[in-house]
Structure 1
């Protein structure tokens, strides 16, 4: 294994192209969130209830198809499944674009969710990167998702003002086709696969991880995070309209809120890492979400106040969205990262579905305040649950290929005594040793020498 600190040409190409692919795919989902409640009002059957179902529908089908699509990619290859997923996503976009009722929009959104390729794209990123550089490639993709989310909140209202809701769905279908060209001509083909423990959601491992108290805290967290996000965008467009802001100008609130949130979020991440106070800052970020929802109860009728509320919310949301995947890697047992991320992703998408659908029901029953109370209750539970979080700083995972898996006990014994090794697991059938280490004490070169000599 090359210990070069820089990405090689293949890894750079993979990082850039897969980041673009993810950004295009996520834009198709995110651009609709701030506009569906506003521009869907002329649709047959329109109601806040069905807006919630339509916004959240993709989450249900994403949760259902994410893991099976990942399993299928292990069998037939990553790129064919990505093409299949993008095709289904484009089909869902066309169905929604041609719909004249909110029910057709909900069906289209559900079809979009069936094109669940996130886990497959991340697996391909792992296939195309060396162990020492994999975190950089994944981080690059993560940044693209965050930027796509921010840009979509601004572009959604602007584009909808010119294109209408149907035109926006047609644009999303076109973006899906463009994403296929990115896969065909820009994304490298993988000659090998990353260790299965890194990328595959093994069903047996997933069931075992449902008993892992620390990971369950994070699964509840991402479920709640995306629930309150989706719920917010069921009611926020109505709030802005009630405050006197025309639909085509909603971006004027979203843009400064998003920019301010990024400016404030990055220092929080840096300070939390330097002071080794991840749990305290994690709970603080949840408290920001709670505070934003509480402000909505106190004064949600002023455009300026709504802008402040969104900025506060996005500081907390962006911090948590960046922190949660890292905590999964930190806390999951060696060789179980793929399974841990499988449970995590399923929780995330279920949260989006329940957030949209429950917000629609609650808004219909008791207005926006009832939605905020629901979010506050769940966030309080999340804070209590997070008090038991036991994340360690300076922990990193490695997966090393072993050429001779005949004596796993011998290899394991030698690796476990290396300075900085916290946990080590050898999976002989996978020809891989999985390590969890303290980065300040661990020397990767020594571990590689032991593995090669085995």
Structure 2
């Protein structure tokens, strides 16, 4: 079970993610129409205004994450959220489409998704991290569904400029959520290297690259589906566009009943690889069902359901696996590469989804997406089980002794990282049980003055 600090931190950091995503996604269902009111607006510039946020996110995730592995993560999150809020305000005050594009680009400059996830990894024990990441994944999915319902309604009340002001307010509200997250100081075995060397180290790791390809494929397929599916729900299921949120939201809730047990199985019984590959299989199943049954309302909804269930299992598993596989001293960097891959996947998914709409053969469109998912499965087949660390929760010694104490801990074989929470007067000590030997146990017992169950 999560402790109170983990529950509070998971709630706060998931809320930051959800508020940012809600502000981002509310624009999407209305801007293609509302954006026409801006001076100089053309279809291409309207599309750029929507998409430029994702482009700057993809470009800046890695620089932010490289900094987050060297400096305190919370100030970087604050900086990112201030940029997000500033961009919203610039867009809200703009009368031309170019002003909106600049505002959206600045908002996207707050590329701190990876930093937030790395901070969540810091403040949760290894055994509870998958649950925390699952909650974050669900919050993102929920904000997506809510945004598509709230966007048109809020625009009718406050107009498109008012909607941008709402995103600014959400960015500032997200900053306040950081007050619930403890101050942490990370200590790990010292691997001094330059920024470029650190990035190269992450990019050379085969399993990390498979995870980056996985998040790219996952969000490519999701974005393409959300472009390709609505017209079919209208045509074959007789569900009007205004009611599509009522289709997606129940599917999201149903997926929770599959996602959380899957996470528990993956973590408790160390079946992460099997469940990961099964989830990709579930996505393929959903897409194949749509190839042959898209003309039937209930088969169409069943295919969508299979896809959503598998998607949410993957959304929860990916960040947890990434945090296990990434080098401890480069965790945020690995998450930054992963986040860039996610945004690039969404970008290419939008492009592919638009091209699929031009096809006269609906089954062929679903077949193309199925083929992409099958290639993804083949690439992912080479994944090895991640390394499973465990966490000890230890009280801190006298404040003046903390640095010396952490150094002594890190000198013990099998201890990988010490995350100190000085305000709470305890630390999470992350251990690789496979490396702990009898000598290490004795050293740990001597340092702590008591036996510790490992």
Aligned residue in 2 for 1:212:
205
Q: CA separation in 1, counterparts of 2:263 and 2:118? A: 26
Is 1:284 matched up with 2:285?
Answer: no
The 1:448–1:27 alpha-carbon spacing in structure 2 relative to 1, beyond 3 Å, is farther
Whole-angstrom distance in 2 between the partners of 1:253 and 1:396: 40
Structure 1 residues 386 and 176, CA gap change in structure 2 (3 angstroms): same
Is residue 321 from structure 1 mapped to residue 322 from structure 2 by the alignment? no
Which has the larger displacement, 274-283 or 35-44? 35-44
Asked whether 1:65 is paired with 2:66, we answer no
Aligned to 2:404, the other structure's residue is in SS state coil
Tell me the CA shift for residue 183 of structure 1. 2.3
Alignment match of 2:288 (pick from 284, 289, 294): 294
Give, in whole Å, the separation in 2 of the partners of 1:361 and 1:181: 38
Q: Secondary structure at the match of 2:432?
A: strand
Matched, 1:233 2:233: no
C-alpha displacement of 1:320: 0.8
Alignment of 1:326-337 (within 5 A): 326-337=320-331
List aligned pairs for 1:93-242, cutoff 5 A: 93=88, 109-125=104-120, 129=123, 133=125, 136=128, 139-140=131-132, 142-161=134-153, 163-164=155-156, 167=159, 170-171=162-163, 173-184=165-176, 187=179, 193-195=185-187, 202-242=195-235
Alpha-carbon distance, 1:114 to partner: 1.9
Unaligned runs of 5+ in 2: 395-401, 419-427, 450-454
Name the SS for the 1:389 alignment partner.
Answer: coil
Report the Cα offset of residue 55 of structure 1: 5.8
Partner of 2:421: none
Q: Of 335, 348, 363, which aligns to 2:342?
A: 348
Aligned in 2, Cα 1:317/1:182: closer, same or farther, shift over 3 Å? closer
Query: How many pairs does the alignment contain?
Result: 427
Q: Does 1:23 align with 2:18?
A: yes
* C-alpha distance in 1 between matches for 2:95 and 2:327: 49
1: CA distance between counterparts of 2:186 and 2:14? 19
Q: Which moved more, 1:57-66 or 1:300-309?
A: 300-309
Provide Cα deviations, 1:125-160, integer angstroms capped at 9, x if missing partner: 567x4xx74775885465144134224314523541
Contact 2:92 2:162 in 1 (8 A): yes
**Residues 339-348 or 148-157, more deviating:** 148-157
Question: Aligned match of 1:255 in 218, 240, 249?
Answer: 249
Q: CA deviation at 1:45?
A: 4.4
Offset of residue 356 of structure 1: 1.8
Displacement of 1:87 after TM fit?
3.6
Give me the whole-angstrom Cα distance separating, in 2, the residues matched to 1:105 and 1:367. Answer: 36
SS at match of 2:383: coil
- TM-score between the two structures when normalised by the length of structure 1: 0.74
TM-score in terms of structure 2 length = 0.74
3-state SS, counterpart of residue 239 of structure 2: coil
TM superposition shift of 1:323: 1.0
Preserved CA contact (<8 Å) 2:328 2:417: yes
Q: 1:81 to 1:165 in 2, by over 3 A?
A: farther
1:285 Cα offset (Å) = 0.9
Q: Secondary structure at the match of 1:194?
A: strand
- SS of 1:438's equivalent in the other structure is coil
User: RMSD of the TM alignment (CA)?
Assistant: 4.6
Q: CA deviation at 1:188?
A: 5.4
User: What displacement does 1:62 show?
Assistant: 1.0
What is the distance in 2 between the residues matched to 1:233 and 1:379? Answer: 16
Q: Confirm or deny: 8 A CA contact 1:93 1:172 kept in the other structure.
A: yes
Contact 1:15 1:137 in 2 (8 A): no
The one of 297, 304, 312 equivalent to 2:298 is 304
Moved more, 364-373 or 63-72: 364-373
C-alpha change, 1:168 and 1:313, in structure 2 (3 Å) is: farther
SS in 2 for 1:336: helix
Separation (CA, whole Å) in 2 of partners of 1:277 and 1:32 = 39
